Chain A
Amino acid sequence: MNEYEINLKEVSLAYGNTEVVHRVSFGIKRGVFAGLVGPNGSGKSTIIKSLSRILEPVYGQISLRGQNIKNMKQKDLARLLAVVPQNAVVPSLFSAFEIVLMGRNPHKGFLSYEDEKDMSIVRDAMEKTDTWRFRDRRIHELSGGEIQSVVIARALTQDTDIIVLDEPTAALDVARQIEILNFLRGHCKERNKTIIAAIHDLNLAAHYCDRMILLKKGDVFMNDAPSKVITNENLSEVYGSGSYVYPHPLSGLPAVLPMVEGIFHSQEVIANLSDCAPSGLWLFWYLFRRALPRAIDQRLSAFIYAYFRAESP
């Protein structure tokens, strides 16, 4: 009956008496990679918390697969939805392997010990996230990015159909960000999992998400495909001025650049282009692309994008 895997109906969330999220409604279908974006304090993390019932809604209801999470057992919820928190606290004496193994907790009884099957699930998850190589290291010897990968491996080990991530790439370098998001997207598409991630980086979000939910001060400002959401109008409305959207030279998807007042090379360039363009070689490329008819430009970008995709491992 309910086609949405995750469905929020008029959900209000509050810390004490301060309401942070106001009557928010949206639904996410199965197999969709959804991005939750918005400025600081717009309620991204709060919504993420409410999905795993750490924060109970003061109004409205959240359902997963048509089932109100309020009526679910904690354990059943953990079998359906795994969370990668933003700054995961990890006890320092445990090894990376043991932390990942804790992901099997919702599937285990009171006294049962992990068997071969659990071990192979853990190994699989750790190899996919490239954490198997430091499985025996104590967690406090690892870097922030490595810990983040370990926590993602733990969420995979939980073997849930829904994965919720709060800033999964915040502590990672660019290459790792792309690696992790590539993997998550693959996981989402190949196994028909539903992923919802709070992502700060609009560029990354635009490239990986099927849908973006743009939040503004605790309300859903827009819920649509990235190309519809990431526009100059929307961003200046939500974030204020300070960002500039242009099509990514390779993918054609919207990309966001910072636009800082007073740090332009020359006002004339802006005046001539009527908006801000990237400098140097990119400027040349950009002008070239602008000169092309739109249809050809799109073909070109699709070709280039496919070419680079094929090149990368």
Chain B
Amino acid sequence: MNNNLNQDNTDSCAPEKKSGRFRGQIISLLILAPVLLAVMVAATGLGSVNVPFGHTLGIISSRLLFFLDFGNPSWTEPQAVIIFDVRLPRVVMAALCGAALAMAGAVYQGLFRNPLADPYLIGVSQGGAFGAVLAIFLPVNWNAFSVWMIPAFAFSGALLVTFLVYRISRTGNVLPATTLILAGIALGAFFSAGVSYIISISGTKIGSMVLWLMGSFNNAMWNEVRVTFPIVLAGLFVLILFGRSLNVMQLGDDQAKQLGLNVERDKKILLAVSTVIVAAAVSFVGIIGFVGIIIPHAVRLLWGPDYRFLLPLSVLLGAIFMVATDIAARVLFAPAEIPVGVITAACGAPFFLYLLRKKIKSIF
């Protein structure tokens, strides 16, 4: 009798667990991808000049698929310019940034095995901010380069500081996570001091500096997108390949090695690639906080901790979230626009507190 009961217990839930193990995640991926496209189209249509959804779709598809004949357009030329040349690059940039930040956040949290890690943990933001503020401050007439000066400085600053942090914390061939974090905090503080100093002596330029620091998609045009798009996309593809490695890394360096992982090599690749995509995003739009922390945790809560799905789901959810917050930034107090960083922080801080209230242990 007792034996029979045991038999039933062991057999009942075994086989179907295998085949459908990731069904939920796969379905979610397939749903979220079109949702992202829909949100992006909606975001393009919304704004101070309202363009009907159908027209928006028509304008975008006719411009992207210019070789097809769509017949007589039912929209006006100014509408087309607003949609395609003003709003669409901004929306694409928002999606790219959201994807890059969420991805980097997920990767850093996995890499450092720390639920509070965010993409700015090891000095990207401070370095970027320092570079940007410096570029604005320098009393040089850059003329032709002026558009590119701030992003170029920010990008180099971000990479430089991260590289310094990396060099300082590396001992031999090993890269201890705690040293990396501490070096990141120390150097970050140093460069923050630099930022504060430059701001304090900058006089009239203070406005544009603060705006950059708060982060905004205001200046995103096709030229900027053309630079960010390939970097971020390539980075995302590389990082998604490392899902299995990140899973095993959760066991700690030693056990990961014992399970056949080339830990130090994978760490370096993950660090370098995620830093580059964050720097690419940050240098054009400024520092946008909380996305990199909220999104991976939300994905974890909804779909579990397996990095092979956590990473792509974070990318999609991050992009959707960023585009949505950008809509809010433009529409909430229209015609005035609030910096998108304000909205992400407003959403992020309560979520952060919620994470703290809930035991970290049960969610990470």
Contacts and interface: CB of A to CB of B under 8 A. Distances in A.
Contact of A140 (B250, B308, B361): B361
A209 to B, nearest CB: 22
A114 B259 CA distance: 15
A102 interface: yes
Given A92-B364, A105-B244, A140-B361, A54 B10 contact: no
B14 A123 contact: yes
Interface in A109-158: 110-111, 113, 116, 119, 123, 127, 132-133, 136, 138, 140, 158
Interface string A76-112: 1111001101001111111001110011011010110
Interface in B219-259: 241, 244, 247-248, 250-252, 254-255, 257-259
A158 B241 contact: no
Interface residues of A, number: 42
B306 interface: yes
Contacts of B214: none
Interface in B294-342: 300, 304-306, 308
Contacts of A74: 257, 260-263
Contact of B9 (A94, A111, A133): A133
A9 interface: no
B362 interface: yes
Contact of B260 (A78, A111, A133, A140): A78
B259 A78 contact: yes
Contact of B257 (A52, A89, A94, A123): A52
B357 interface: no
Interface string B15-44: 001100000000000000000000000000
A93 B364 contact: yes
B113 A91 contact: yes
Given A78-B259, A79-B260, A94 B250 contact: yes
Contacts of B346: none
Given A74-B260, A158-B259, A102 B248 contact: yes
A248 interface: no
A127 B14 CA distance: 12
B257 A98 contact: no
Contacts of B18: 116, 119
A204 to B, nearest CB: 24
B322 to A, nearest CB: 25
A93 B113 contact: no
Contacts of A53: 257
A14 to B, nearest CB: 14
A75 interface: yes
A136 B12 CA distance: 13
Contacts of A76: 260
Most buried by B among A53, A90, A92: A92
B304 A105 contact: no
Interface of B: 9-10, 13-14, 17-18, 113, 241, 244, 247-248, 250-252, 254-255, 257-263, 300, 304-306, 308, 361-364
Interface of A: 49, 52-54, 73-79, 82-83, 85, 88-94, 97-99, 102-103, 105-106, 108, 110-111, 113, 116, 119, 123, 127, 132-133, 136, 138, 140, 158
Q: Which 10 A-B pairs have the closest CB atoms?
A: A78-B260, A106-B260, A91-B250, A93-B305, A75-B260, A83-B258, A89-B252, A105-B259, A119-B18, A52-B258
14 contacts: A74-B263, A75-B262, A78-B260, A79-B260, A82-B258, A83-B258, A88-B255, A89-B252, A91-B251, A102-B248, A105-B260, A111-B244, A136-B17, A140-B361
